[in-house]
Chain A
Amino acid sequence: AQRVTQPEKLLSVFKGAPVELKCNYSYSGSPELFWYVQYSRQRLQLLLRHISRESIKGFTADLNKGETSFHLKKPFAQEEDSAMYYCALSGPGAQKLVFGQGTRLTINP
């Protein structure tokens, strides 16, 4: 079964503190993993994908196949990072996304 689990519905940290949003997945095969972000009153947009191994807005995420995790990290949180974050997976190619429950991140000044 395909499943994505984000254990924290809410996460609140202070500006400048490190941030880690957890994501675990269940998938038989080699999935593609993504982080999507939704800022207030905006549409869902792609933040990171595991195959590109890039850093966007200071965020990174490493796929750990042994632990089936794809945690999102940022060393120093900024107020503009406050948003809803969704971890998602899909099979190879043009396939549907399976989303986690989402984590609402709030950065306090």
Chain B
Amino acid sequence: AAGVIQSPRHLIKEKRETATLKCYPIPRHDTVYWYQQGPGQDPQFLISFYEKMQSDKGSIPDRFSAQQFSDYHSELNMSSLELGDSALYFCASSRLVGLAGGPYNEQFFGPGTRLTVL
């Protein structure tokens, strides 16, 4: 079965450079989430999109921006990179499923992009 695809898998940048991370959700999934996992840390929510509109925002720096395109893929743009931005960036996708107990959302994760800022 198709899974969430992220590219690139590894990225090395210098301080103050920019980076673009891409996420391709599972077909027919309408929601995309971005998470950042620093070394030894738990994944932290950055931002999410539902039907190409931003649906929620977490602890995402102003230097970062993201969008979801008409084909539902999403890109996370990071500018003025800092050493502290070095982390694993996960993308997840989901599609709301109606269950007897109420709507249910299972998020499927991509393999992550490991960003190293030197």
Contact = CB atoms under 8 A, between A and B. Distances in A.
Q: Are A and B subunits of one complex?
A: yes
Interface of A: 32, 36, 42-46, 49, 51, 86, 90, 92-102
A43 B111 contact: yes
Interface string B12-38: 000000000000000000010101000
Interface in B74-109: 90, 92, 94, 96, 99, 101-109
A55 B89 CA distance: 30
Interface size class of B (residues with CB under 8 A): 20 to 34
Nearest to B6: A43
A92 B102 contact: yes
A43 B112 contact: yes
Contacts, number: 61
Given A32-B105, A44-B92, A94-B105, 10 more contacts: A45-B108, A49-B104, A92-B102, A94-B96, A96-B45, A96-B56, A97-B45, A98-B45, A99-B42, A99-B43
B50 interface: yes
Contacts of A32: 104-105
A96 B34 CA distance: 9
The secondary structure that dominates the B interface is strand
B65 interface: no
B56 A95 contact: yes
Nearest to B34: A96
A63 to B, nearest CB: 12
B110 A43 contact: yes
A93 B109 contact: no
A86 B45 contact: no
Nearest to B4: A43
A95 B111 CA distance: 20
Query: Which of the listed residues B44, B92, B109 has the most CB atoms from chain A within 10 Å of its own CB?
Result: B109
B85 to A, nearest CB: 19
Nearest to A97: B107
B58 interface: yes
B58 A96 contact: yes
